[in-house]
Amino acid sequence: MVNNVPGAELAIRIRGLSVERGGQNVVAGLDIDVPGGSVVGLLGPSGSGKTTLMRAIVGVQDRVTGTVDVLGLPAGTPSLRRRVGYVTQEASVYRDLTVVQNLSYFAALAGVPAARRRETVGRVVAEVDLGGHEKQVVRTLSGGEVSRVSLAAALVGDPELLVLDEPTVGLDPVLRRDLWSLFRELSRGGRTLLVSSHVMDEATQCDRLLLLRAGGLVADVTPTDLLRQTGAPDAERAFLALIEGSAAEEAAR
Amino acid sequence: MNLTFATAERVLAQLRADRRTIALVLVLPCLLIGLIAWMFDGTPVLDQFGPMLVGLFPLTVMFLVTSVATLRERQSGTLERLMTTPVRKGDFVAGYALAFANLALVQALVVVGFATLVGMDVAGPIGLVIVVALLDAILGCCLGLAASALARSEFQAVQMMPAIIFPQLITCGLIMPRDQMPMLLEWLSRVFPLTYAIEAMQSLARGDEWADIQGAVGVIALFIVGAVVLGVLTLRRRTA
């Protein structure tokens, strides 16, 4: 199910990826291509290996076999750390610091020169719609606000590839819509985004969808093809049809 | 190097936001020394043992503070995130050590100042007492950093204190002069850093000068470097 777009530069190229955790292969023999400049949705039930796959891509997953090339280099290459931004599922920012203190630190780590840090922080604060909260200690923000600080911390370095693990969890529909339009805008600017989600209506906002189940790839399709192939009226039911179909197939074997 | 400073600055900002911890770090050792001064009022006990306590309290307090702080970083997911950024493992450990060394310096000044105020009269130069107390506190930080790598939970992190500090405390010569210990324990005390810290302080209490303690100070410095290296080596970029 590898989809090769001729001529398009691949942002991520995965061949035969397996990851062992706790004595089990949580990801088994995965082949995935993510074209550069696209927004790719990573969908799948809880425990299907989405986070493990993302951790392998950003180079912090141990016990990995197979090939994972990111922006043309093996995953985990030190020079990639400046070019790839990763947002974990649980917001990973310093809750005892203010929004600006957090973002300034991550900007410094991303190599933003001190003279441009204030401006950069201002830009990302606006992008994630946190204006007015700059001086607030993160601990005192709401859950959705904290997760946007976490997202902003990945945006400060203006990375070429963004790996976002459930970035819209716990956000209201208005914020979700705004974030997805930000993702689209980033991709228009040539950035590649790999976004995991379990909110199915978000799937229609992606250029491509990767469907994982039990550590294997069930589908690699465009949202339109997903609906056509399954004949389902919406993404949620199409997703269920595919997951149940693949489970039934496995049971029959 | 820039990322080391950025990390140190961030850790210091976190410390500044936590006023209560700063108060505990500065006030607690003074309180304990005050108790001893009061208990042995009118005797030379504080002159003899004061310098050792001034070296010991910062070591234990800083050990606890650092090991918990780095454990918190591991558990909050921020460490995992840092490992995906250009920050090197050395930057992380050195940044922490640098930030806590700042706090350690303030602590050493306050504690030595307070001990002098309540009547500690050190025969040797008081400046050297401060230097040794500072090195002890930095050693505590670095040991805490290394120890936190072994702990998977807060319960374990807190247990690292009795596990790593107490055996040193028992054999360092504070409870019994080291030359009266069974030979094996005496040898054991030789490989513990606290022994050298106490030795330097005992020496200063007797009125010795820099030339007499430079060997012990050198050993403490080596242990600091060793603990930093251990801290870097035990940090993992890839985790299961």
Chain segment B8-40, per-residue pLDDT in tens: 999 999 999 999 999 989 999 999 999 999 999
Chain B interface includes A106 (CB < 8 A): yes
**Domain-embedded: residue B13:** yes
Mean pLDDT of B162-185: 90
Q: Backbone phi, then psi, for B120, in 5-degree steps? A: -70, 120
Q: Do B13 and A97 touch (CB under 8 A)?
A: yes
Region for A22 from its dihedrals, namely left if φ exceeds 0, alpha if ψ lies in -120 to 50, beta otherwise: left
Residue type present at position B226 = G
Q: Do B10 and A111 touch (CB under 8 A)?
A: no
Q: Which of B6, B82, B84 is closest, CB to CB, to A84?
A: B84
- Which of A98-112, B45-59, B87-101 has the largest mean confidence? A98-112
Q: How far apart are CA B36 and CA B111, in angstroms?
A: 13
**Domain-embedded: residue B239:** no
Q: Do A62 and B81 touch (CB under 8 A)?
A: no
**pLDDT tens profile B110-140:** 999 999 999 899 999 999 999 999 999 899 9
- A90 neighbourhood in chain B, CB within 8 Å: 77
pTM here? 0.89
Q: Which of A22, A81, A88 is closest, CB to CB, to B85?
A: A81
Distance of CA A221 to CAs A208, A216, B92, Å?
6, 15, 41
What's the total number of domains in chain B? 1
**Domain-embedded: residue B156:** yes
DSSP structure class, residue A15: E
Chain A interface includes B16 (CB < 8 A): no
Among residues of chain B, what percentage have pLDDT more than 90?
56
- A108 neighbourhood in chain B, CB within 8 Å: 2-3, 6
**Domain-embedded: residue B55:** yes
**Alpha-carbon gap: A61 to the closest alpha carbon of chain B (Å):** 5
Which residue ranges in chain A fall short of pLDDT 50?
1-7
| pLDDT top residue among B58 and B24 | B24
Q: Which residues contact B173 (CB under 8 A, 6 or more apart)?
A: B189, B195, B198, B199, B202
**Domain-embedded: residue B45:** yes
What pLDDT, on the 0 to 100 scale, is given for residue B118?
Answer: 92
**Domain-embedded: residue B91:** yes
Chain A interface includes B3 (CB < 8 A): yes
Q: Closest by alpha carbon to A33, among A8, A9, A13?
A: A13
**Domain-embedded: residue B133:** yes
What pLDDT, on the 0 to 100 scale, is given for residue B1?
Answer: 74
Query: Which chain B residue shows the shortest CA-CA distance from A22?
Result: B240
**Domain-embedded: residue B101:** yes
Distance of CA B152 to CAs B67, B71, B144, Å?
11, 8, 14
Among residues of chain B, what percentage have pLDDT more than 70?
100
The residue among A19, A60, A194 with the most chain B CBs within 10 A of its CB, best to mutate, is: A60
What pLDDT, on the 0 to 100 scale, is given for residue B42?
Answer: 87
- Residue A42, token pair as written in the block: 């990573």
- A109 neighbourhood in chain B, CB within 8 Å: 3, 6, 82, 85-87
Do B147 and B160 meet the contact criterion of CB atoms below 8 Å apart? yes
What pLDDT, on the 0 to 100 scale, is given for residue A20?
Answer: 93
Q: Give the domain extent around B65.
A: 2-233
What pLDDT, on the 0 to 100 scale, is given for residue A9?
Answer: 84
**Cα angle, residue A234 at apex, residues A228 and A236 outer, rounded to 5°:** 115
- Residue B139, token pair as written in the block: 């050693």
- Which of A98-102, B93-97, B183-187 has the largest mean confidence? A98-102
Average pLDDT in chain B: 91
**Alpha-carbon gap: B88 to the closest alpha carbon of chain A (Å):** 9
